[in-house]
Structure 1
Protein backbone atom coordinates (compact mmCIF):
# COMPACT_ATOMS: atom_id res chain seq x y z
CA UNK A 1 0.00 0.00 0.00
CA UNK A 2 1.30 3.44 -0.90
CA UNK A 3 2.08 5.84 1.93
CA UNK A 4 1.16 9.10 0.23
CA UNK A 5 -2.44 10.23 -0.28
CA UNK A 6 -2.62 9.34 -3.96
CA UNK A 7 -3.72 5.72 -4.33
CA UNK A 8 -5.28 5.74 -7.82
CA UNK A 9 -3.14 3.18 -9.72
CA UNK A 10 -3.39 4.68 -13.21
CA UNK A 11 -2.68 8.25 -12.04
CA UNK A 12 0.24 6.97 -9.95
CA UNK A 13 1.66 5.11 -12.96
CA UNK A 14 1.49 8.16 -15.24
CA UNK A 15 3.06 10.42 -12.62
CA UNK A 16 5.82 7.88 -11.98
CA UNK A 17 6.72 7.97 -15.68
CA UNK A 18 6.47 11.77 -15.93
CA UNK A 19 9.73 13.65 -15.92
CA UNK A 20 10.91 17.17 -15.21
CA UNK A 21 8.77 19.75 -17.03
CA UNK A 22 5.92 17.35 -17.70
CA UNK A 23 2.55 18.97 -17.07
CA UNK A 24 -0.56 17.66 -15.38
CA UNK A 25 -3.94 19.33 -15.71
CA UNK A 26 -6.50 19.03 -12.96
CA UNK A 27 -9.63 20.07 -14.83
CA UNK A 28 -12.97 21.24 -13.50
CA UNK A 29 -16.24 19.77 -14.73
CA UNK A 30 -16.65 22.41 -17.44
CA UNK A 31 -13.23 21.99 -19.04
CA UNK A 32 -13.28 20.54 -22.61
CA UNK A 33 -10.97 17.66 -21.63
CA UNK A 34 -11.68 15.57 -24.73
CA UNK A 35 -10.40 18.26 -27.11
CA UNK A 36 -8.01 20.50 -25.13
CA UNK A 37 -5.06 18.31 -24.17
CA UNK A 38 -1.63 17.38 -25.37
CA UNK A 39 -1.19 14.81 -28.14
CA UNK A 40 0.24 12.24 -25.72
CA UNK A 41 -1.80 13.15 -22.65
CA UNK A 42 -3.94 10.53 -21.03
CA UNK A 43 -7.40 11.48 -19.77
CA UNK A 44 -8.68 10.06 -16.52
CA UNK A 45 -12.27 10.92 -15.68
CA UNK A 46 -12.91 11.05 -11.95
CA UNK A 47 -16.18 12.97 -12.28
CA UNK A 48 -18.43 10.77 -10.15
CA UNK A 49 -21.28 13.22 -9.56
CA UNK A 50 -21.58 17.03 -9.49
CA UNK A 51 -18.93 18.38 -7.13
CA UNK A 52 -17.25 15.02 -6.43
CA UNK A 53 -14.33 15.10 -6.48
CA UNK A 54 -13.15 18.70 -6.47
CA UNK A 55 -10.01 19.99 -8.11
CA UNK A 56 -8.62 20.86 -4.68
CA UNK A 57 -9.05 17.27 -3.44
CA UNK A 58 -7.16 15.99 -6.48
CA UNK A 59 -4.50 18.70 -6.00
CA UNK A 60 -3.94 17.53 -2.43
CA UNK A 61 -3.43 13.94 -3.58
CA UNK A 62 -1.11 14.85 -6.46
CA UNK A 63 1.04 17.19 -4.34
CA UNK A 64 1.58 14.36 -1.86
CA UNK A 65 3.00 12.15 -4.61
CA UNK A 66 5.17 14.18 -6.99
CA UNK A 67 7.40 17.28 -6.80
CA UNK A 68 5.83 20.33 -8.43
CA UNK A 69 7.78 23.42 -9.50
CA UNK A 70 5.05 25.63 -10.98
CA UNK A 71 1.28 25.99 -10.76
CA UNK A 72 -0.75 27.89 -13.33
CA UNK A 73 -4.42 28.81 -13.23
CA UNK A 74 -6.75 30.11 -15.90
CA UNK A 75 -6.96 33.89 -15.49
CA UNK A 76 -10.44 35.21 -14.79
CA UNK A 77 -12.22 37.28 -17.40
CA UNK A 78 -12.80 41.00 -16.82
CA UNK A 79 -16.11 41.19 -18.65
CA UNK A 80 -18.87 38.92 -19.90
CA UNK A 81 -20.96 36.28 -18.20
CA UNK A 82 -18.00 34.57 -16.51
CA UNK A 83 -16.31 37.70 -15.17
CA UNK A 84 -15.37 37.84 -11.49
CA UNK A 85 -14.35 40.63 -9.17
CA UNK A 86 -11.03 39.38 -7.82
CA UNK A 87 -9.75 35.85 -7.46
CA UNK A 88 -12.15 32.90 -7.53
CA UNK A 89 -12.77 31.46 -4.04
CA UNK A 90 -11.22 28.13 -5.09
CA UNK A 91 -7.82 29.82 -5.45
CA UNK A 92 -7.74 30.42 -1.68
CA UNK A 93 -8.34 26.68 -1.23
CA UNK A 94 -5.40 25.97 -3.53
CA UNK A 95 -3.15 28.37 -1.64
CA UNK A 96 -3.99 26.64 1.64
CA UNK A 97 -3.39 23.18 0.18
CA UNK A 98 -0.05 24.30 -1.28
CA UNK A 99 0.97 25.81 2.05
CA UNK A 100 -0.18 22.72 3.99
CA UNK A 101 2.07 20.63 1.73
CA UNK A 102 5.01 22.83 2.77
CA UNK A 103 5.53 24.35 -0.67
CA UNK A 104 6.36 28.00 -1.30
CA UNK A 105 4.77 28.15 -4.76
CA UNK A 106 2.52 30.93 -5.99
CA UNK A 107 -0.41 30.52 -8.34
CA UNK A 108 0.42 31.96 -11.76
CA UNK A 109 -2.75 33.08 -13.57
CA UNK A 110 -2.42 33.06 -17.36
CA UNK A 111 -4.83 34.17 -20.08
CA UNK A 112 -7.52 31.59 -20.97
CA UNK A 113 -6.20 31.07 -24.52
CA UNK A 114 -2.59 30.84 -23.32
CA UNK A 115 -3.75 28.31 -20.74
CA UNK A 116 -5.26 26.17 -23.51
CA UNK A 117 -2.00 26.46 -25.49
CA UNK A 118 0.03 25.42 -22.43
CA UNK A 119 -2.14 22.33 -22.02
CA UNK A 120 -1.91 21.22 -25.65
CA UNK A 121 1.89 20.87 -25.70
CA UNK A 122 4.01 17.73 -26.05
CA UNK A 123 4.88 18.00 -22.33
CA UNK A 124 1.29 17.52 -21.22
CA UNK A 125 1.07 13.93 -19.94
CA UNK A 126 -2.16 13.77 -17.95
CA UNK A 127 -5.56 15.40 -17.55
CA UNK A 128 -7.54 14.48 -14.48
CA UNK A 129 -11.16 15.48 -15.11
CA UNK A 130 -13.04 16.27 -11.90
CA UNK A 131 -16.66 17.22 -11.31
CA UNK A 132 -15.75 20.54 -9.70
CA UNK A 133 -18.42 23.11 -10.51
CA UNK A 134 -16.52 26.20 -9.40
CA UNK A 135 -15.55 28.72 -12.06
CA UNK A 136 -11.85 28.99 -12.91
CA UNK A 137 -10.95 25.85 -10.97
CA UNK A 138 -8.63 24.46 -13.69
CA UNK A 139 -5.06 24.14 -12.48
CA UNK A 140 -1.95 23.18 -14.47
CA UNK A 141 0.98 21.65 -12.59
CA UNK A 142 4.55 21.43 -13.84
CA UNK A 143 6.49 18.47 -12.50
CA UNK A 144 9.72 19.40 -10.78
CA UNK A 145 12.77 17.48 -9.61
CA UNK A 146 13.05 15.25 -6.60
CA UNK A 147 15.75 16.80 -4.42
CA UNK A 148 16.07 14.17 -1.67
Structure 2
Protein backbone atom coordinates (compact mmCIF):
# COMPACT_ATOMS: atom_id res chain seq x y z
CA UNK A 1 0.00 0.00 0.00
CA UNK A 2 1.07 3.57 -0.65
CA UNK A 3 -0.07 6.77 0.97
CA UNK A 4 -2.02 9.49 -0.83
CA UNK A 5 -2.75 7.47 -3.99
CA UNK A 6 -6.45 7.89 -4.87
CA UNK A 7 -8.32 4.58 -4.53
CA UNK A 8 -9.41 4.59 -8.19
CA UNK A 9 -5.79 4.58 -9.41
CA UNK A 10 -4.99 0.92 -9.99
CA UNK A 11 -1.41 -0.39 -9.87
CA UNK A 12 -1.46 -0.73 -13.67
CA UNK A 13 -2.67 2.86 -14.14
CA UNK A 14 -0.02 4.15 -11.72
CA UNK A 15 2.65 2.29 -13.73
CA UNK A 16 1.35 3.77 -17.00
CA UNK A 17 1.31 7.31 -15.57
CA UNK A 18 4.91 6.85 -14.42
CA UNK A 19 6.00 5.52 -17.83
CA UNK A 20 4.46 8.39 -19.75
CA UNK A 21 6.74 11.22 -20.77
CA UNK A 22 6.24 14.88 -21.63
CA UNK A 23 3.76 15.14 -24.51
CA UNK A 24 2.39 11.61 -24.16
CA UNK A 25 -1.39 11.39 -24.09
CA UNK A 26 -3.86 9.29 -22.14
CA UNK A 27 -7.54 8.82 -22.98
CA UNK A 28 -10.22 8.39 -20.35
CA UNK A 29 -13.00 6.71 -22.31
CA UNK A 30 -16.69 6.25 -21.63
CA UNK A 31 -18.45 2.91 -21.80
CA UNK A 32 -19.36 3.35 -25.49
CA UNK A 33 -15.82 4.09 -26.70
CA UNK A 34 -14.05 1.36 -28.75
CA UNK A 35 -11.16 1.28 -26.27
CA UNK A 36 -9.83 -2.23 -26.91
CA UNK A 37 -9.55 -1.74 -30.67
CA UNK A 38 -7.86 1.67 -30.34
CA UNK A 39 -5.45 1.14 -27.42
CA UNK A 40 -1.72 0.60 -27.43
CA UNK A 41 -2.05 0.08 -23.65
CA UNK A 42 -5.53 -0.69 -22.30
CA UNK A 43 -6.40 -0.08 -18.66
CA UNK A 44 -9.78 -1.37 -17.51
CA UNK A 45 -11.45 0.53 -14.68
CA UNK A 46 -14.88 -1.06 -14.94
CA UNK A 47 -17.44 0.23 -12.49
CA UNK A 48 -15.78 3.64 -12.25
CA UNK A 49 -16.79 6.92 -13.85
CA UNK A 50 -14.68 9.51 -15.60
CA UNK A 51 -14.97 12.46 -13.17
CA UNK A 52 -13.41 10.57 -10.25
CA UNK A 53 -10.66 9.16 -12.46
CA UNK A 54 -9.96 12.55 -14.04
CA UNK A 55 -9.64 14.20 -10.65
CA UNK A 56 -7.38 11.44 -9.35
CA UNK A 57 -5.09 11.58 -12.39
CA UNK A 58 -4.83 15.37 -12.21
CA UNK A 59 -3.70 15.17 -8.57
CA UNK A 60 -0.71 13.11 -9.78
CA UNK A 61 0.04 14.19 -13.36
CA UNK A 62 0.84 17.69 -14.64
CA UNK A 63 -0.71 18.83 -17.90
CA UNK A 64 1.43 20.14 -20.75
CA UNK A 65 1.58 23.93 -20.48
CA UNK A 66 3.74 24.29 -23.62
CA UNK A 67 1.28 22.68 -26.04
CA UNK A 68 -1.49 24.57 -27.80
CA UNK A 69 -3.90 22.30 -25.94
CA UNK A 70 -3.44 19.65 -23.26
CA UNK A 71 -7.09 18.61 -22.81
CA UNK A 72 -9.35 17.41 -25.62
CA UNK A 73 -13.08 16.67 -25.52
CA UNK A 74 -14.94 14.53 -28.05
CA UNK A 75 -17.89 16.10 -29.81
CA UNK A 76 -20.21 14.57 -32.39
CA UNK A 77 -20.31 17.54 -34.74
CA UNK A 78 -20.93 21.26 -34.51
CA UNK A 79 -23.05 21.06 -31.36
CA UNK A 80 -24.40 24.31 -30.04
CA UNK A 81 -24.50 23.13 -26.45
CA UNK A 82 -21.85 21.26 -24.51
CA UNK A 83 -22.66 17.90 -22.91
CA UNK A 84 -23.40 18.41 -19.19
CA UNK A 85 -20.40 16.32 -18.12
CA UNK A 86 -18.01 18.92 -19.60
CA UNK A 87 -19.08 21.36 -16.87
CA UNK A 88 -17.97 18.79 -14.27
CA UNK A 89 -14.63 18.41 -16.06
CA UNK A 90 -14.09 22.18 -16.00
CA UNK A 91 -14.82 22.23 -12.26
CA UNK A 92 -12.20 19.49 -11.78
CA UNK A 93 -9.66 21.44 -13.85
CA UNK A 94 -10.28 24.44 -11.58
CA UNK A 95 -9.81 22.47 -8.36
CA UNK A 96 -6.64 20.71 -9.53
CA UNK A 97 -4.61 23.84 -10.30
CA UNK A 98 -5.33 23.76 -14.02
CA UNK A 99 -7.31 27.01 -14.18
CA UNK A 100 -5.45 28.25 -17.27
CA UNK A 101 -6.27 25.16 -19.34
CA UNK A 102 -8.75 25.66 -22.17
CA UNK A 103 -9.96 22.31 -23.50
CA UNK A 104 -10.09 21.80 -27.26
CA UNK A 105 -12.97 20.05 -28.96
CA UNK A 106 -12.39 17.33 -31.54
CA UNK A 107 -14.98 15.92 -33.89
CA UNK A 108 -15.64 12.26 -33.11
CA UNK A 109 -13.54 10.69 -35.90
CA UNK A 110 -10.63 13.10 -35.33
CA UNK A 111 -10.83 12.16 -31.64
CA UNK A 112 -10.65 8.46 -32.57
CA UNK A 113 -7.55 9.06 -34.69
CA UNK A 114 -5.83 11.00 -31.90
CA UNK A 115 -6.82 8.31 -29.38
CA UNK A 116 -5.12 5.64 -31.50
CA UNK A 117 -1.84 7.54 -31.01
CA UNK A 118 -2.29 7.87 -27.23
CA UNK A 119 0.07 6.06 -24.90
CA UNK A 120 -2.88 4.44 -23.12
CA UNK A 121 -6.66 4.33 -23.00
CA UNK A 122 -8.61 3.88 -19.78
CA UNK A 123 -11.91 2.05 -20.32
CA UNK A 124 -14.56 3.08 -17.78
CA UNK A 125 -18.25 2.44 -17.16
CA UNK A 126 -19.15 6.10 -17.75
CA UNK A 127 -22.60 6.39 -19.33
CA UNK A 128 -22.68 10.11 -20.13
CA UNK A 129 -22.61 10.77 -23.87
CA UNK A 130 -19.48 12.39 -25.31
CA UNK A 131 -17.67 12.02 -22.01
CA UNK A 132 -14.37 10.95 -23.61
CA UNK A 133 -11.36 13.10 -22.77
CA UNK A 134 -7.68 13.13 -23.72
CA UNK A 135 -4.96 14.50 -21.41
CA UNK A 136 -1.47 15.48 -22.58
CA UNK A 137 1.22 15.01 -19.93
CA UNK A 138 3.44 17.93 -18.99
CA UNK A 139 6.50 18.33 -16.80
CA UNK A 140 6.94 19.00 -13.11
CA UNK A 141 8.46 22.45 -12.67
- Asked whether the two chains share a fold, i.e. TM above 0.5, the reply is yes
Which one has the bigger helix percentage?
2
1:132 is aligned to 2:119:
no
1:65 is aligned to 2:66:
no
User: 2:44 matched to which residue of 1?
Assistant: 45
Name segments (4+ residues, structure 1) moved above 3 Å.
none
For 1:114, which of 104, 107, 110 is the aligned residue? 110
Structure 2 distance, partners of 1:130, 1:75, is 18
Structure 2 residue runs of 5 or longer lacking an equivalent are 65-69
Structure 1 distance, partners of 2:3, 2:15, is 12
Is the Cα–Cα contact under 8 Å of residues 23 and 141 in structure 1 kept in the other structure? yes
Structure 1 distance, partners of 2:4, 2:89, is 22
Is the Cα–Cα contact under 8 Å of residues 76 and 87 in structure 1 kept in the other structure? no
1:4 Cα offset (Å): 4.2
The count of aligned residue pairs is 133
Structure 1 distance, partners of 2:37, 2:121, is 11
- Normalising by structure 2, we get a TM-score of 0.87
User: 1:24 matched to which residue of 2?
Assistant: 26
1:3 Cα offset (Å): 2.1
Change (3 A) 1:7 1:34: closer
How much is the aligned-residue C-alpha RMSD, in angstroms? 1.4
1:96 is aligned to 2:91:
yes
Which secondary structure does the structure 2 equivalent of 1:34 belong to? Answer: helix
Structure 1 residue runs of 5 or longer lacking an equivalent are 79-83
Change (3 A) 1:46 1:56: same
